[in-house]
Amino acid sequence: MEKARIGVTGLAVMGRNLARNLARHGHPVAVHNRTSARTKALVEQFGDEGTFLPADTPEEFVASLERPRRLVVMVKAGAPTDAVIEEFAPLLEPGDMIVDGGNAHFADTRRREAALRERGVHFVGAGISGGEEGALHGPSIMPGGSAESYEALGPLLEDISAKVDGDPCCAHVGPDGAGHFVKMVHNGIEYSDMQLIAESYDLLRHAAGLAPAEIAEVFRTWNTGRLESYLIEITAEVLAHTDAATGKPFVDVVLDQAEQKGTGRWTVQTALDLGVPVGGIAEAVFARSVSGHADLRAASRHLPGPSRTKVAGSSFADAVEKALYASKIVAYAQGFHEIQAGSAEYGWNIDAGSMAAIWRGGCIIRAGFLDRIRAAYAADPHTPTLLTDPHFTEAVGDAQDAWREVVATAARIGVPAPGLSTALAYYDSLRADRLPAALTQGQRDYFGAHTYRRTDREGTHHTLWGGDRTEVDA
Ligand code: NBP
């Protein structure tokens, strides 16, 4: 009986498309789903796309896989993933591999990897980005797990991933939870990117007085330049769309309350634990949160604001482009800082440049811009921040006057721009000779004897604030 090279269990939209992608690439694929109607539907609808080996039971499914077995789990993240692992692990043998392609938290992946390692089974937490279209036509894949498991899985995953200039958008990220960690940060950056675009739209609308269709044209133009990306492209499409029922711009009939599934929040929570400043991502998560507080917003609508004035002049759109580009650099700099901090904390040895390379295609943040990031890490793999890469330093330097003007305009006319503003504040914090953190340290020492270090000599010190204010060594 023909064996399958790989199997997919969990055949909702993602699993089904991933299985089809594998089959279309000539890999015989075993397919299984808790509710077997999905398995049947897949084979009935798409059976002619390749070799599918449908299985009704976990035992049948596992028996149809060649060894070492490669088993991809594409079920709802959380308890369902644990349930599926519990069900399948006893049927596996040492050397077999379970790949979790769902959006798991990296800490869960670490736990699952350690537990399965005890049984000799490789557990690979693989971040997969690109949504259902990506899963079918080529996603960006971020597999973690052991190097040994990547030897057996890598060629298959690279085969079905997106390609940019012939290079697969898939690379081994690092051990245990590294893949899901990088996918999490990818999503955090995606939040930030989307928020910056949304603020740019809002400013073009309310400060420059442009209509959505006109702004769509601005975004189309931007998409031919350095901002070229999937997100800018779809922004133009959404803004150009007219609601069929009302004839109004689509963006004007959509309820302005953004939702989230949690990976942005995880990125910020993890950054807080690691002590990494990711203000751009945090503001993006909070902006969605603010938008969703309908009662709070309704109660606050009468709060006084400035008398709104539009900013005349066609050059404003150019200024917004500069502010957006500079802020985007900051967003990615913050995200990559988090990846490097996570890598150091967990001993993953992640190649940051390679992550930029595999995000160039297949995923939601795909953009020509990522080639620049790859080049920056190629020039200096240990750069503390992308902002000091000569290309980015120059780009932000050139943009900064316009960036400041845009942020000032937003403040002046009362259009919220938390993403653009926090990015600028981060930039100015990094370039400051002295930060007011010195005063913060003084306050902490005053009220809590938390001590401080001095600029002019070693050691830890405390001032006797309640006494004669002499300084003592702590
Ligand atoms: P869903 O996240 O909607 O999950 C549905 C699948 O989980 C079905 O196959 C369902 O089986 C199965 N399942 C559940 Br729910 N509980 C189960 C259990 N206890 N035992 C066995 N199977 C169980 O599917 P999806 O949208 O295709 O996403 C799959 C994964 O990929 C998720 O982790 C998601 O976060 C991730 N992801 C999704 C996207 C996207 O764009 N949708 C993008 C990237 C990653 P049933 O048919 O029997 O109910």
pLDDT in tens, 303-354: 999 987 777 777 899 999 999 999 999 999 999 999 999 999 999 999 999 9
Which pLDDT score is estimated for 321? 98
Using the mean position of ligand 1's atoms as its centre, give its distance from the Cα of residue 31 in Å: 14
Atom of ligand 1 nearest to the CA of 101: 31
Which protein residue's CA is at the shortest distance from atom 17 of ligand 1? 80
Q: How confident is the model at residue 1 (pLDDT cuts 50, 70, 90)?
A: confident
When pLDDT is averaged across residues 157-169 and rounded to a whole number, the result is: 97
**pTM, 2 dp:** 0.96
Atom of ligand 1 nearest to the CA of 129: 44
Q: How many helices (H) and strands (E) does the chain have?
A: 20, 11
Which pLDDT score is estimated for 309? 78
When pLDDT is averaged across residues 110-127 and rounded to a whole number, the result is: 97
Which pLDDT score is estimated for 20? 98
For residue range 227-267, list pLDDT tens digits in order: 999 999 999 999 999 999 999 999 999 999 999 888 999 99
For residue range 357-411, list pLDDT tens digits in order: 999 999 999 999 999 999 999 999 989 999 999 999 999 999 999 999 999 999 9
For residue range 418-459, list pLDDT tens digits in order: 999 999 999 999 999 999 999 999 999 999 999 999 999 999
Gap between the Cα atoms of 163 and 170, Å rounded: 9
Gap between the Cα atoms of 218 and 251, Å rounded: 16
Which pLDDT score is estimated for 106? 98
Q: 113, 190, 199, 283: which is the annotated catalytic residue?
A: 190
Gap between the Cα atoms of 103 and 126, Å rounded: 8
Answer with the residue of higher pLDDT: 2 or 67.
67
Atom of ligand 1 nearest to the CA of 15: 27
Q: Is 310 helix (H, G, I), strand (E, B) or coil?
A: coil
Place of tokens 């709104």: 308
Q: How confident is the model at residue 128 (pLDDT cuts 50, 70, 90)?
A: very high
202, exposed or middle or buried, with CB in 10 Å at 0-12, 13-18, 19+? middle
When pLDDT is averaged across residues 117-127 and rounded to a whole number, the result is: 97
Using the mean position of ligand 1's atoms as its centre, give its distance from the Cα of residue 331 in Å: 30
Residues 39 and 53 sit within 8 Å (Cβ to Cβ):
no
Residue 420, both tokens: 């653009």
- Identify the helix (H) or strand (E) that includes residue 404: helix 390-413
Which pLDDT score is estimated for 307? 85
- CB atoms < 10 A from the CB of 367, how many? 25
- CB atoms < 10 A from the CB of 451, how many? 16
Q: Is 158 a catalytic residue?
A: no
Using the mean position of ligand 1's atoms as its centre, give its distance from the Cα of residue 103 in Å: 9
Which pLDDT score is estimated for 314? 73
Atom of ligand 1 nearest to the CA of 16: 27
Using the mean position of ligand 1's atoms as its centre, give its distance from the Cα of residue 107 in Å: 19
Give the mutation target among 17, 31, 34 for probing the ligand 1 site: most ligand atoms within 8 A of CB.
Answer: 34
Residues 355 and 339 sit within 8 Å (Cβ to Cβ):
yes
Cis amide linkage into residue 68, ω under 30° from 0: yes
Q: 113, 183, 283, 322: which is the annotated catalytic residue?
A: 183
When pLDDT is averaged across residues 73-88 and rounded to a whole number, the result is: 97
Q: Is 261 a catalytic residue?
A: no
Q: Residue 145: name the closest of 130, 163, 161, 127 by CA.
A: 127
For residue range 273-304, list pLDDT tens digits in order: 999 999 999 999 999 999 999 999 999 999 99
Which protein residue's CA is at the shortest distance from atom 40 of ligand 1? 131
Place of tokens 């919220």: 416
354, exposed or middle or buried, with CB in 10 Å at 0-12, 13-18, 19+? middle
Which protein residue's CA is at the shortest distance from atom 30 of ligand 1? 102
Which protein residue's CA is at the shortest distance from atom 22 of ligand 1? 34
Atom of ligand 1 nearest to the CA of 38: 47
Q: What is the mean pLDDT of the chain?
A: 97
Which residues line the pocket of ligand 1, CB cutoff 6 A? 10-15, 33-35, 38, 74-77, 80, 83-84, 102-103, 128, 131-132
Residues 10 and 84 sit within 8 Å (Cβ to Cβ):
yes
Using the mean position of ligand 1's atoms as its centre, give its distance from the Cα of residue 19 in Å: 14
Give the mutation target among 13, 76, 82, 133 for probing the ligand 1 site: most ligand atoms within 8 A of CB.
Answer: 76
Which protein residue's CA is at the shortest distance from atom 33 of ligand 1? 102
Which pLDDT score is estimated for 44? 98
Gap between the Cα atoms of 24 and 26, Å rounded: 5
